[in-house]
Structures are given as C-alpha cells and as structure tokens.
A = this chain, B = another copy of it.
Amino acid sequence: MSNNLLKGKRGIIFGALNDQSIAWKVAELAHLHGAEFVLTNAPIAMRMGEINHLAEKTGSKVIPADATSVADLEKLIAESMEILGGKIDFILHSIGMSINVRKGNHYTNENYDYTMKGLDVSALSFHKVMQTAMKLDAMNEWGSIVALTYIAAQRIFPDYNDMADNKSYLESIARSFGYHYGQAKKVRVNTISQSPTMTTAGSGVKGFDGFINFSEQMSPLGNATAEDCANYCVAMFSDLTRFVTMQNLFHDGGYSSTGVTQAVMEKFQS
C-alpha cells in the first residue's frame, strides 16, 4: 500500500516485545505510513526482546522506560520530543501483566500486593503516560492516544483473572483522561478491544489455546490478527478519526455482538 496516512506524525510506541507483539506490527505499519516514532519498553522486557531489529528496520530510537515510573516517563517523553523534533501526535499503550496470573493465584485467592502491582503496570501506567505528557505539553492538537484492551472488561472469562478488573480500570482512564485532554488540547483517547491474540503476553494466560479457538468460532469474521489490529491503530492515529474519543472500540470480527454461532451451537445440540 502506497498510503502515507501518518506522514509527518511523531509517535511513541510502548510494548513491542517481539515480532508477535501487536505493538511491533503497529511500528512496522506506522513506519510504512510515514510516521516517525520512538520505541519503548520496560528495561527487563527489552532484554528479552529483539526490539533493536525493529528499531533498525523502522529507523527508530529505543528508550527504555518503566511505565510505572513517572521519572522514567518524563525522561522518555522529553527525549522523544527532542529526537523526533517536535510534539507528539500519537501514543500506543500496549502493556499488561498480572502477577496473580503468573503465580497461579485464583481470582478468589488474590495476593493484594500482586493485584496492586499488576494494576499499576497494566492500567495506572496509562494515566501516568498521559499525565506526564500533559505536564510536558508534549501532545499536538488532535493527537491520538490508544491503549489495547480486551472484552474481559465487560464479560468474565474465568482464567483472565484480575486482568479483567485492570482492563476495566484502563478503559475508564481512557474516558476520564479523554475528557480532560479533549477539552484542554483536543487530544483524543480511545481503547481498542482486540480479539485474543497469540502474543507472548497472551500465551501466559492459562488455557489460552481453547480461549482463542472458542473466540475464533464465535466470531463471524474469525479472530482479528495482530496485523489487522495494527491497521486499525493506524486508522485511529490518522486524521480520518479525529472526532472519535473516549470510546472502547471492538476490533474482534464481530465477537462482541454475537450471542452464538452455528458452529458453536452444534456442540450443544443433542
């Protein structure tokens, strides 16, 4: 595609861990569409990843930052503006992690220190990014900020655990901050509620295979892939969607509006 929907736009992309990551696909596609951006990830996550290959491929700089640390975020955003030569037009927040999930704590047996830490990483970090950007006056008017979420914020999936509550909090931050950032600077803030995606993060969830299979069979168009999601992110970063804000946008092949499909029903008929 020869489009350049993001030409002249500057961004910051959180969460590109490896080439299965949605954020990775967003970076590749944003680059094709003419954007310039900084890549960032938690120092510990970055050592595991191959982010430098992505940086090379897209002509980007990498700045490590712990998204729960306001100091790190201040440094990240200030340096990004310097590197990119101006204010920021788009931010992708693709960060999530539940220690309770990792440790195998059932939802009814949470360790509350883990709960708080997971919330900080998965949700409050989104507020911190925006609060820091606002304090540094780092966003251009009509800038676009997107965080990735999952429908567990609305409907319960037993193994998704406290990530459901984290995603609800994240989506609420999008609305709350979207209100204030919209009024103050015409910046828009949305969440994209993506099909379950076989990323490194996703594969940490127990029974994830069955989960993806169920979702595939419950979606009239099938599950959206990471590449599809990147396309949608580019649309949301572009000037085509300037009046969409404070929304949770389902990108899921119709899953969210489907009660049941023929294929699934057949498993329940005698």
A residues adjacent to B (C-beta < 8 A): 1-5, 70, 106-110, 112, 115-116, 119-120, 124, 127-128, 130-131, 134-135, 151-158, 160, 162, 164-165, 167-169, 171-173, 175-184, 186, 188, 195, 207, 209-211, 213-214, 217, 220-221, 224, 228-229, 231-232, 234-235, 238-247, 249-254, 256-262, 264-270
Q: When the two chains form their complex, are residues A245 and B221 in contact, meaning their CB atoms are under 8 A apart? A: yes
Name A's interface SS. Answer: helix
B-side contacts of A244, CB under 8 Å = 232, 249-251
| Contact pick for A172, options B158, B164, B241, CB 8 Å | B164
Across the interface, do B246 and A257 meet the contact criterion of CB distance under 8 Å? yes
Pair A231/B235 contact, Cβ less than 8 Å: no
- Would you give the shortest CB distance from A269 to chain B, in whole angstroms? 3
Residues in B neighbouring A259, C-beta threshold 8 A: 151-152, 155-157, 160
Q: Which of B153, B235, B246, B268 touches A217 (beta carbons < 8 Å)? A: B268
- Provide the residues of chain B in CB contact with A266, threshold 8 Å: 210
Contact, CB under 8 Å: A261 / B183: yes
CB atoms of B261 and A221 under 8 A apart: no
> How many whole Å from A251's CB to the nearest CB in chain B?
5
Separation of A177 and B253 alpha carbons in the complex (Å):
14
B258 touching A220, Cβ below 8 Å: no
Indicate whether A246 sits within 8 Å of B115 (C-beta atoms), given known contacts A2-B4, A110-B131, A164-B176: no
A238 — which chain B residues lie within 8 A by C-beta?
235
CB distance from A57 to the nearest CB of B (A): 21
B246 touches A156 (CB 8 A): yes
Q: In the complex, A173→B152 CA distance in Å?
A: 11
Minimum CB–CB distance for A264 against chain B, Å = 7
A-B contact sample (12 more), CB < 8 A, given A156-B176, A182-B220: A154-B175, A158-B262, A165-B173, A168-B172, A179-B261, A183-B262, A210-B265, A214-B264, A228-B243, A232-B243, A235-B238, A267-B267
Across-interface contacts of A264 in B (CB, < 8 A): 214
Most buried by B among A116, A130, A151, A235: A235
